[in-house]
């Protein structure tokens, strides 16, 4: 856990007390904001309690809403966490923990930090003026009411989005740009674990997709973006955290990036590496994704697929594939949120500006 910083005279927490656009005196303390501030700083309840002279149980009660802290305690917590006091009064949109894969490999602290940063970016985008450079949200919804990963509804959901967004047949030029063009907020951030590839938060008015900038593979990163789009389209706020919905999002991504009608006749039935290299360059997906697509569509038999994957392992291609596709696609519209944070958002923790700037680097 991070060590809780002590308050400093004249710190940002005491200098900026105005809540944008409301005054602190007109609103109530928001328990969820306290946890968010702790998660951003990776500060434990025990560390925060020690910094302001209360028990860890008191911090827990503040966060649960069981006890409402005094204005002095709110100011002390804000000072200790180096956030403006107004930050702890800012209403917060309730949201589940997010669509994370590899839950067993990533730590709770890592997931909460990443989720809290996504919340802050969403806050900026939904503040007055924050969405001025963002496209209106255009997200077709096709909720899947089953856990069956092979449900035809999953494939139909991917086809629905391509039709609704007028995506032409064949490969998609830039998946991240396509999401941004339809109002989905996309950011990249360093993840604390290589096992956290991507995640998403399905906010109704401005969904957020977060991609790891630890991953330098363009093809796999495109698949990650399409996978998270699948969650937003099919699952929303109804279900998360189970392997079945992850399998559905994988199948959605495969159909979205490699539509059966367009790619079936191009796929080989055996490990024809020369042909697979050509397809990798054409579709901008990984060799592993192409092989799985060939197997799923029945072009490649299970035994041929197993042989091909053994070949990939023997050549060391599971870690780094041949035929690099270039740098991962990066968000472009997110950079506008920096101006909101710097100039217009009095509530935004200034200590987090370097982190936000890091999120927008392509």
In this predicted model, what pLDDT tens digit does every residue of 126-182 receive, in sequence order?
876 666 778 999 999 999 988 888 889 999 999 999 999 999 999 999 999 999 999
What pLDDT does 27 receive?
66
Question: CB of 3 within 8 A of CB of 70?
Answer: no
**In this predicted model, which residue has the larger pLDDT, 338 or 117?**
117
What pLDDT does 340 receive?
73
What pLDDT does 357 receive?
64
Mean of pLDDT over the chain: 84
Residue 104 binned pLDDT confidence (cut-offs 50, 70, 90): very low
What pLDDT does 96 receive?
58
Q: Which of 52, 53, 71, 74 is nearest to 63 (CA)?
A: 74
Nearest-angstrom CA–CA distance, 41 and 2: 7
Q: ∠ CA(19), CA(93), CA(234), 5° rounding?
A: 150
What pLDDT does 71 receive?
93
What pLDDT does 20 receive?
42
Say whether pLDDT at 9 is over 80.
no
Which of 3-12, 33-42, 91-100 is the least confident region? 3-12
Average pLDDT score over residue span 182-195: 77
Q: In what order do the strands lie in the sheet with 185-189?
A: 99-100, 198-201, 208-212, 185-189
Average pLDDT score over residue span 331-339: 77
The predicted-structure confidence for 294-313, as pLDDT tens digits, reads as follows: 999 999 999 999 999 999 99
Helix (H) or strand (E) holding 3: none
Nearest-angstrom CA–CA distance, 183 and 124: 14
Say whether pLDDT at 85 is over 50.
yes
What pLDDT does 115 receive?
83
**In this predicted model, which residue has the larger pLDDT, 187 or 349?**
187
Taking the whole predicted model, whether its pTM rises above 0.95 is answered as no
What pLDDT does 75 receive?
95
Question: CB of 88 within 8 A of CB of 34?
Answer: yes
The predicted-structure confidence for 29-57, as pLDDT tens digits, reads as follows: 999 999 999 988 889 999 999 999 999 99
**In this predicted model, which residue has the larger pLDDT, 50 or 82?**
50
Average pLDDT score over residue span 229-236: 93
What pLDDT does 287 receive?
97
The predicted-structure confidence for 317-332, as pLDDT tens digits, reads as follows: 998 999 999 999 988 8
What pLDDT does 148 receive?
87
Say whether pLDDT at 8 is over 60.
no
> What domains lie within the chain, and their CATH numbers?
12-92 (1.10.260.40), 99-259 (no CATH), 261-314 (no CATH)
Nearest-angstrom CA–CA distance, 227 and 224: 5
Instruction: Please give the distance of CA 193 from its chain centroid, rounded to a whole number.
Output: 14
Nearest-angstrom CA–CA distance, 138 and 27: 32
Say whether pLDDT at 198 is over 50.
yes
The predicted-structure confidence for 267-291, as pLDDT tens digits, reads as follows: 999 999 999 999 999 999 999 999 9
What pLDDT does 133 receive?
76
């Amino acid at each position: 856990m991070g060590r809780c910083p002590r308050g400093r005279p004249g710190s940002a927490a005491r200098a900026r007390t105005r809540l944008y656009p409301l005054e602190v005196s007109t609103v109530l303390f928001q328990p969820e904001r306290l946890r968010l501030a702790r998660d951003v700083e990776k500060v434990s309840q025990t560390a925060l309690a020690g910094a302001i002279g209360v028990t860890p149980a008191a911090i827990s009660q503040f966060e649960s809403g069981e006890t409402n802290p005094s204005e002095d305690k709110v100011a002390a917590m804000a000072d200790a966490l180096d956030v403006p006091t107004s930050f702890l009064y800012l209403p917060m949109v309730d949201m589940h923990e997010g669509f994370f894969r590899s839950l067993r490999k990533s730590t709770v602290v890592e997931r909460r930090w990443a989720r809290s940063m996504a919340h802050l970016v969403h806050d900026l985008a939904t503040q007055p003026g924050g969405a001025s450079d963002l496209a209106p949200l255009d997200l077709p919804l096709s909720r899947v009411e089953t856990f069956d990963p092979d449900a035809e509804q999953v494939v139909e959901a991917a086809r629905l989005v391509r039709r609704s967004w007028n995506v032409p047949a064949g490969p998609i030029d830039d998946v991240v740009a396509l999401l941004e063009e339809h109002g989905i907020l996309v950011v990249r951030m360093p993840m604390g674990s290589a096992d956290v590839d991507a995640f998403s938060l399905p906010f109704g008015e401005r969904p957020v997709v977060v991609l790891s900038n630890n991953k330098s593979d363009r093809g796999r990163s495109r698949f990650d973006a399409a996978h998270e789009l699948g969650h937003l389209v099919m699952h929303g706020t109804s279900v998360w955290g189970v392997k079945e919905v992850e399998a559905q999002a994988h199948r959605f991504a495969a159909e979205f990036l490699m539509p059966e009608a367009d790619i079936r006749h191009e796929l080989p039935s055996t490990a024809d590496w020369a042909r697979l290299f050509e397809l990798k360059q054409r579709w901008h997906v990984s060799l592993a994704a192409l092989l799985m697509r060939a197997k799923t569509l029945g072009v490649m038999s299970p035994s041929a697929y197993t042989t091909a994957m053994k070949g990939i392992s023997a050549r060391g291609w599971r870690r780094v594939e041949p035929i690099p596709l270039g740098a991962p696609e990066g968000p472009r519209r997110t950079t506008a949120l920096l101006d909101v944070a710097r100039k217009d958002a009095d509530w935004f923790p200034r200590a987090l500006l370097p982190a936000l700037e890091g999120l927008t680097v392509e």
